[in-house]
Amino acid sequence: MKATLAFDVYGTLIDTHGVIVELEAELGERGMEFSQRWRDKQLEYAFRRGLMGAYVDFGQCTREALEFTDRALRTELSERHKDRLMATYARLPAFPDVPEALAELRRRGHTCVAFSNGTREAVKALLEQAGIVDCFDDIVSVDEIKRFKPDPAVYAHLRTRLEVDASKTWLVSSNPFDAIGARHAGLHAAWVRRSAEAPFDPWGGEPDCTVSDLVELSERLG
């Protein structure tokens, strides 16, 4: 059955730890800790702003999370270095499996869209520099309704915007909260477990399928 596949971007298609080389050059062995703390705080800020009804775009959440992490870890990064890290975040690389898998999924007749907390402009630029923007039929951003995943309104917007039935729509994400949110909203969900150590949230709502990468997903969906 041909499906509409909505791919999360940050952490699923794009490696958010792509900043690690630059961070390690500045911070040494603390680079990985900084990268993980930054990513965690970025998502936390989006969740908190969503609950508060105090939306700002995801880029601002990312910058504010960077500022917090610098303060929390007392790394004392210069403003110039922070600007450079933000610029690096805008040109993060795709995971190696992504181009081949997307091409195969489209060859088999599936509709592929990028579906992100990032703005359309930021996501398009990111996918362009990663060389995969042509793999997508569309880009859907939460910025269009000023909400963040996993708000049910975001997944409803995806269906409305694409004019697709929930039963034929899959959310593909490496983030358990996203997969759970999609399932709660009536979509199918594929969890991309990019780390063998990554646990899934024990909420009782398992994804429809779990894969290690997108190549495996293309094989599973056929």
pLDDT band at 2 (very low <50, low <70, confident <90, very high): confident
Summarize pLDDT for 59-85 with one digit per residue, the tens. 999 999 999 999 999 999 999 999 999
pLDDT of residue 1: 66
Helix H or strand E encompassing 101: helix 98-107
Domain with CATH 3.40.50.1000 in the chain: 4-14+92-221
Mean residue pLDDT of the chain comes to 95
Q: Which CATH number fits domain 4-14+92-221: 3.20.20.60, 3.30.565.10, 3.40.50.1000, 3.40.920.10?
A: 3.40.50.1000
Residue 204: the pLDDT is: 77
Identify whether the C-beta of residue 90 lies closer than 8 Å to the C-beta of residue 125.
Answer: yes
Q: Is the pLDDT confidence value at 18 over 90?
A: no
With a cut of 80, say whether residue 88 has pLDDT above it.
yes
How confident is the model at residue 157, as a pLDDT?
Answer: 97
Neighbours of 87 (CB within 10 A): 10
At 40 the pLDDT is: 95
Which has more confidence, 26 or 54? 54
pLDDT, tens digit, for every residue of 125-146?
999 999 999 999 999 999 999 9
Q: Which residue did the predictor score with more confidence, 206 or 147?
A: 147
Which of 33, 39, 2, 38 shows the shortest CA–CA distance to 167?
2
pLDDT value, residue 5: 98
Q: Cα separation of 54 and 183, whole Å?
A: 25
Range with the poorest average pLDDT among 42-46, 59-63, 120-124, 200-204: 200-204
Residue 95 has a pLDDT of 96
| 3 state SS of 211 | strand
Beta bridge partners of 210: 191
Asked about 70 being catalytic, the answer comes back as no
Q: Looking at residues 97-109, what average pLDDT do you find?
A: 95
Contact 140, 161 (CB under 8 A): yes
CATH tag, 16-89: 1.10.150.240
**Strand arrangement, sheet containing 169-173:** 138-141, 111-116, 4-7, 169-173, 188-192, 209-211
Catalytic-role residue among 8, 15, 143, 178: 8
173-222 confidence digits (pLDDT tens): 999 999 999 999 999 999 999 999 999 999 877 899 999 999 999 999 87
Q: pLDDT > 70: what percent of the chain? A: 100
Angle between helices 20-27 and 31-52 (to 10 degrees): 120
DSSP line for 155-204: HHHHHHHHT--GGGEEEEES-HHHHHHHHHTT-EEEEE--STTPPPP-SS
Q: Where in the chain is the domain with CATH 1.10.150.240?
A: 16-89
What confidence score (pLDDT) does residue 41 get?
97
